[in-house]
């Protein structure tokens, strides 16, 4: 029986309405609030300040430091997450006997909430590292970022692994057989056949890891917090503190809009670049 377009509209309309209420409308309202000086409580006390909030953001040294810190963290984490994810995927798609168990174990860290994950690793860094006299990484400006990279990689590598596994299993067997017949060894097959055909998976995984790393919040707040002198404060935590700790609602919204634009531009550039390199059969 053929389903008419009306039925599709009937089932998708509730989702679209929820999306509009939860995402689109609050986003538009937030843009409006970014032009006001407001503590988020008394609406009559809101004062229209135009673009001054946006101008002040670029004079905010703490926010600029958080921007640089988050960018460095994201660039390194995207590489480590995807590198480890593709290695895991290649291992568990072999004839390894425990490959199904390995897939489950490697994916499990992603199922743990970021807050819980941060507190677990906080104990590891504080107890184990201090016991072997490596010092407290969470209070060091450089090592605290490395700690967050370690935790984020451990959490997301298994997640992107699943996407890479799907891409590897979708490669036609006859293409791989043809490469073997032509005398290609494992590394040649990997770089000349598998990787080019995995570009759709690379597009998805790079997008997911980029957006997740830029938006890191729960691991940041539970593992390191802002750190001494705000040395480990990231984008999202800086915005949260501006709005809810300092009660600068309008100014914090301006930061959030700039934050959104940065992520949108970077991810769109990444998707457009990787899309052009995708191979179709």
CATH class for the domain made up of 61-276: mainly alpha
What Rg do the C-alpha atoms of the chain give, in angstroms? Answer: 23
Q: Which residues contact 39 (CB under 8 A, 6 or more apart)?
A: 45, 247, 248, 249
- Phi, psi values for residue 90, rounded to 5°: -65, -35
CA–CA separation, 189 and 177 (whole Å): 10
CB 147 within 8 A of CB 125: yes
For residue 62, pLDDT beyond 80: yes
What local confidence, expressed as pLDDT, does residue 256 receive?
Answer: 92
- Phi, psi values for residue 133, rounded to 5°: 60, 40
- pLDDT digits 0-9 by tens, 217-229: 888 898 888 877 8
| CA-based torsion, 125, 129, 134, 139: positive or negative | positive
Please state the rounded mean pLDDT for residues 81-86.
95
Please state the rounded mean pLDDT for residues 195-224.
90
- pLDDT digits 0-9 by tens, 2-39: 555 677 777 788 888 998 998 889 889 989 989 998 88
- ∠ CA 183-186-187, rounded to 5°: 110
What local confidence, expressed as pLDDT, does residue 53 receive?
Answer: 92
Q: Which residues contact 8 (CB under 8 A, 6 or more apart)?
A: none
Closest CA to 55 of 251, 275, 276, 268: 251
Q: Helical H runs in 20-60?
A: 25-33, 52-57
- pLDDT digits 0-9 by tens, 103-155: 888 888 888 877 888 888 888 888 777 666 666 788 888 888 999 999 999 99
What local confidence, expressed as pLDDT, does residue 150 receive?
Answer: 92
Residue spans of the domains in the chain: they are 61-276
For residue 242, pLDDT beyond 60: yes
């Amino acid at each position: 029986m053929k389903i008419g377009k009306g039925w599709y509209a009937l089932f998708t309309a509730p989702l679209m309405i929820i999306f509009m209420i939860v995402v689109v409308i609050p986003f538009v309202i937030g843009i409006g609030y970014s032009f006001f000086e407001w503590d988020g409580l008394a609406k009559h006390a809101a004062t229209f300040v135009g673009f001054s909030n946006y101008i002040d953001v670029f004079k905010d040294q703490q926010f600029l430091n958080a921007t640089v810190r988050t960018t460095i963290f994201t660039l390194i984490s995207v590489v480590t997450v995807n590198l480890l994810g593709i290695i895991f995927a290649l291992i568990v798609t072999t004839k390894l006997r425990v490959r199904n168990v390995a897939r489950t174990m490697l994916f499990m860290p992603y199922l743990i909430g970021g807050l819980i994950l941060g507190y677990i690793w906080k104990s590891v860094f504080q107890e184990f590292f201090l016991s072997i006299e490596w010092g407290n990484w969470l209070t060091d400006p450089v090592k605290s970022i490395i700690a967050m990279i370690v935790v984020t990689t451990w959490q997301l590598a298994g997640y992107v692994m699943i996407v890479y596994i799907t891409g590897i299993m979708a490669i036609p067997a006859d293409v791989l057989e043809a490469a073997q017949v032509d005398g290609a060894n494992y590394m040649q097959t990997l770089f000349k056949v598998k990787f080019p055909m995995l570009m759709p998976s690379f597009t998805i995984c790079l997008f997911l890891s980029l957006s997740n790393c830029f938006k890191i919040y729960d691991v940041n707040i539970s593992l390191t917090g802002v750190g001494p002198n705000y040395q480990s404060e990231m984008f999202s935590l800086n915005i949260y503190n501006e709005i809810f700790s300092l009660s600068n609602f309008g100014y914090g919204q301006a930061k959030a809009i700039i934050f959104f634009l940065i992520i949108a531009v970077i991810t769109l550039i990444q998707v457009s670049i990787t899309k052009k390199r995708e191979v179709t059969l």
